[in-house]
Structure 1
Amino acid sequence: MNNEIPTFREALRVWAKIGLLSFGGPAGQIALMHRMLVDDKRWIGEQRFLHALSYCMLLPGPEAQQLATYIGWLLHGVRGGLVAGILFVLPGAVVMLVLSGIYALYHDLPAVTALFLGVKAVVLAIVVEAILRIGRRALKNRTAVTIAVAAFIGIYVLKIPFPLIVLGAGAIGWIGHRFAPSAFGGGNAHGNGAQPDSHGLIDRLIEGGHLTHTRRSAPRAFRALAVWLLIWLGPVLALRLATGPHSVWSDIGGFFSVMAVVTFGGAYAVLAYVAQAAVEGFHWLLPHEMVDGLGLAETTPGPLILVLQFVGFLAAFRTPGMLDPLLAGTLGAALVLWTTFAPCFLWIFVGAPYVEALRSNRAISAALAAVTAAVVGVIANLALWFALHVLFGATRTVAFAGLRLEAPVLSSLNGIAAAIALAAAIAMLRFKLGTLPTLAFGALAGLATLLFA
């Protein structure tokens, strides 16, 4: 077997290819990396891949981008992680910037409105399909199902913040494994505690002591923490000092820096949190525009969390100050990208060596499995939020047992959107149609409604 580390140039080509082809949301992106890095290249073994994925799912931010950064770091250290993470984001960010500008200038045109009607309906079907797909992988027993249901009730009914739900699920998995290991067994689910996996190049090199940068080192961890905190927060603080605490730049930098720390579960889970703050708190955009943004993000390569770039673009575009609106929007989008993805490198470069050292810890594995189950409940909450705003023209607040819940006004049901969403769900679930063809169908179906207007 070949035990030579691939050259940096060879890895660069692979990461560029992954960045250009990573359509289909986190599940599709993870599947693409698995096929290329585990099956084709055999750079990393199955168990180490799943262990890295479990850690990335526990982190705030986009798990697929962080997984690419993690594997790039395993191969070539910090420079490998930087290249893998940046190339995973860059193609989609460029496309998203162009689409955000087009949307900001022309979204009031009837043709664009009709097109987005179809796209939003398909996005609803995509989110439902994601729940089913992730649920099949994560909900292996009654305990996992119970955690998912509890997470849904916690976030939708009780309005418990995302971080508390994720941390609570992790704690339940950790403690539960000690008292009921059969119900909270994380070993098999995530590949920890299993027999050593020696099928990947990285696995053999680590076992042979060749990849020394993967070893734990407290001084190195502290250096990485200091450097990346400065890289991440330095520009944000500089903008705040230069523009004042109440400028749109301070609001964007501050809000998305906090978001980068407290939002878990990837793009699907983060949207409800961002939508509430961006729509109701800052008034940057309207509820249906959040769904429009996700529809745009679904059509680009790279992480779906690029929808946040869309939010930053509109926020700055609509309050440009003395700048040209398109320039302001571009700078707003760039600031969101910075505050969203700079922390991702911090989590990996500081934490990955310690995560590697915990591969055989079954309690950690059980905690990660519980977090994955909770994420299913969080995404179910997002699906319900989408359904309310895509299928119905109006919602109302309902009081129940002292709680205030959002419910649809049934008479405002949009039959066309419901029909497109149903057709998209059948196409994806029954006929296995891919994300891009389904989105194209939705866009054409939406445009077709102009013929009957």
Structure 2
Amino acid sequence: MKYTLKDITLYFLKLGTWGFGGPVALVGYMHRDLVEREQWLTEEEYREGLALAQLAPGPLAAQLGIYIGFVHYGLRGATLTGLAFVLPSFIMVLLLGMAYQLYSGMSWMQDVFYGVGAAVIGIIGISACRLTLKSVGKMNFSSVKSNWLLWLFYLLAIMMTVLTQEEQIILLVSCGLIYMFVKAPPRWARKPEGLPIIIFAGTGLGSYPKETLVTLGLFFLKAGTFVFGSGLAIVPFLYAGVVSNHHWLTENEFVDAVAVAMITPGPVVITVGFIGYLVSGFPGASVAALATFLPCFLFTVVLAPFFKKVAKNASIRAFVDGITAAVIGALVGSVMIIAMRSIIDLPTLLIALSSGLALVYSKRIKEPHVIAIAAVLGILIKTVG
């Protein structure tokens, strides 16, 4: 063993402080630093962690970090690396939440988020396209290998999200189960006498008083359970619950919350801390963050010891593929809903399009750069206008 628990904890503390670029960039930094440079992990250990992060629910980068801590130091290592990775960005969003509440009524702050809100639409839109191509695949009706069933789930999730403007948990789980039974039915499904009975009691969390920590915790616990691959996958769940159902935030405040996640390092999912702070201050931020990352942590420490066996299970992989296609479809549907309310004129349309194109055609320009430029443009446009 070439590193101590202190070494790996300090590494993730630094990565959580300076690690910009989203989940793909963060997992790339981990491979460069821990496998190639320091050689603290073998290539096999890293690949197993990355596969687990993609297979189980949870934000990709955070889950891989937790797994890396778990590899040689068990539960203690997973806990410390997870906390070290998330804590810096959590503190940043708390400070930004305080500033936002203090200055959001001022005209210059409104001008900043006029541009930033439009840029966020472009950023999420491009991310949704990339996730679609990566997880669902290119549409090709002439090819036998075309994943037409995944595309059907994807399109159905878009339609249902746009029409209902709510998260459809039963739809997502159903897509996973259907794909599993079609592609790789489990052994018990082939034996009628062993078929278990599954009863869905609905997607609601129950009726609780609004804006309580219990309601907040339960909501974010459910949202964190259905984040597969990218932290942006949580956006449709957050939008439906935070804006449409509970009315904790307005449309503009929600877009601003996503923007805050874009300009801070660490996992994108940390936007939940900002939302929680706006709803119930520091206790709300703490409960929201803990509830969101708890499923990620539990899945990692529970599955890691048995992962090699689980990873080879074709039924589980098929279930994850089906539910992932639907989750990405829900993300696209949410982008459409938010765009209809955030793109209010020609300048915001141009900022959104330019933001997306900049990320596609320039490798040097990253999300924080786009957000900063959009903020300046927002002030200039409003000042001139």
TM-score (norm 2): 0.81
Amino acid paired to 1:422 = L
Q: Which of 1 and 2 has greater Rg?
A: 1
1:153 has 2:105 as partner: no
Amino acid paired to 2:181 = I
Amino acid paired to 1:286 = T
Q: Distance in 2 between matches of 1:289 and 1:22?
A: 25
> Paired residue for 1:449?
381
Cα offset, 1:78, TM superposition: 1.0
Q: Among all aligned residue pairs of Structure 1 and Structure 2, give the percentage whose two residues are the same amino acid.
A: 28
Amino acid paired to 1:250 = V
> Paired residue for 1:223?
none
1:17 has 2:14 as partner: yes
Which blocks of at least 5 consecutive residues in structure 1 are unaligned? 180-243, 317-328, 393-413
Q: 2:176 aligns with which of 159, 167, 170?
A: 170
Amino acid paired to 1:347 = F
Partners of 2:20 and 2:266 within 8 A in 1: yes
Query: Which deviates further from its counterpart, 134-143 or 440-449?
Result: 134-143
RMSD: 2.8
| 332 and 360 in structure 1: CA distance in 2 versus 1, 3 angstrom threshold | closer
Cα offset, 1:267, TM superposition: 3.3
Query: Which deviates further from its counterpart, 436-445 or 93-102?
Result: 436-445
Residues 201-260 of structure 1: CA distance to partner in whole angstroms, max 9, x if unpaired? xxxxxxxxxxxxxxxxxxxxxxxxxxxxxxxxxxxxxxxxxxx96662333233333433
> Paired residue for 1:28?
25
Cα offset, 1:308, TM superposition: 1.4
Amino acid paired to 2:267 = P
1:434 has 2:358 as partner: no
Q: Distance in 2 between matches of 1:265 and 1:378?
A: 14
Partners of 1:65 and 1:303 within 8 A in 2: yes
Q: Distance in 2 between matches of 1:343 and 1:76?
A: 20
1:296 has 2:260 as partner: yes
Q: Distance in 1 between matches of 2:171 and 2:23?
A: 21
Residues 408-438 of structure 1: CA distance to partner in whole angstroms, max 9, x if unpaired? xxxxxx1111111122122111123211111
Partners of 2:128 and 2:332 within 8 A in 1: yes
> Paired residue for 1:125?
122
Residues 32-65 of structure 1: CA distance to partner in whole angstroms, max 9, x if unpaired? 2233334434444556545533443454442321
| 166 and 276 in structure 1: CA distance in 2 versus 1, 3 angstrom threshold | closer
Residues 342-377 of structure 1: CA distance to partner in whole angstroms, max 9, x if unpaired? 333222222222223334444444444444444432
Cα offset, 1:107, TM superposition: 0.8
| 332 and 41 in structure 1: CA distance in 2 versus 1, 3 angstrom threshold | same
Q: Distance in 2 between matches of 1:359 and 1:261?
A: 19
> Paired residue for 2:304?
352
Q: 1:37 aligns with which of 34, 39, 49?
A: 34
1:311 has 2:317 as partner: no
Which blocks of at least 5 consecutive residues in structure 2 are unaligned? 141-145, 186-207
Cα offset, 1:6, TM superposition: 2.3
Residues 127-156 of structure 1: CA distance to partner in whole angstroms, max 9, x if unpaired? 122123333432446544641452342353
Partners of 1:23 and 1:301 within 8 A in 2: yes
> Paired residue for 1:339?
291
Amino acid paired to 2:79 = L
Partners of 1:265 and 1:375 within 8 A in 2: no
Q: Distance in 1 between matches of 2:131 and 2:210?
A: 40
Q: Distance in 2 between matches of 1:113 and 1:416?
A: 15
Cα offset, 1:166, TM superposition: 4.1
Amino acid paired to 1:353 = P
Amino acid paired to 2:375 = A
Partners of 1:57 and 1:372 within 8 A in 2: no
Amino acid paired to 2:380 = A
Residues 46-87 of structure 1: CA distance to partner in whole angstroms, max 9, x if unpaired? 565455334434544423212211121112111111111111
Partners of 1:144 and 1:373 within 8 A in 2: no
SS at match of 2:77: helix
| 164 and 128 in structure 1: CA distance in 2 versus 1, 3 angstrom threshold | same
Q: Distance in 2 between matches of 1:346 and 1:110?
A: 44
1:109 has 2:115 as partner: no
Partners of 1:118 and 1:445 within 8 A in 2: yes
Q: Distance in 2 between matches of 1:162 and 1:77?
A: 35
> Paired residue for 2:192?
none
1:88 has 2:85 as partner: yes
SS at match of 2:272: helix
Query: Which deviates further from its counterpart, 13-22 or 108-117?
Result: 13-22
Q: Distance in 2 between matches of 1:448 and 1:251?
A: 40
Partners of 2:57 and 2:295 within 8 A in 1: no
SS at match of 1:301: coil
> Paired residue for 1:422?
353
Residues 387-413 of structure 1: CA distance to partner in whole angstroms, max 9, x if unpaired? 112113xxxxxxxxxxxxxxxxxxxxx
| 107 and 19 in structure 1: CA distance in 2 versus 1, 3 angstrom threshold | same
Q: Distance in 2 between matches of 1:330 and 1:438?
A: 29
| 66 and 21 in structure 1: CA distance in 2 versus 1, 3 angstrom threshold | same
Query: Which deviates further from its counterpart, 307-316 or 162-171?
Result: 162-171
Q: 2:234 aligns with which of 254, 258, 270?
A: 270
| 271 and 133 in structure 1: CA distance in 2 versus 1, 3 angstrom threshold | closer
Partners of 2:55 and 2:317 within 8 A in 1: no
1:382 has 2:330 as partner: no
Cα offset, 1:175, TM superposition: 3.5
TM-score (norm 1): 0.70
Amino acid paired to 2:50 = L
Q: Distance in 2 between matches of 1:84 and 1:144?
A: 37
Amino acid paired to 1:357 = K
Residues 239-285 of structure 1: CA distance to partner in whole angstroms, max 9, x if unpaired? xxxxx966623332333334334555653222222222222333221
Cα offset, 1:10, TM superposition: 2.3
Cα offset, 1:338, TM superposition: 2.3
Amino acid paired to 1:443 = A
SS at match of 1:358: helix
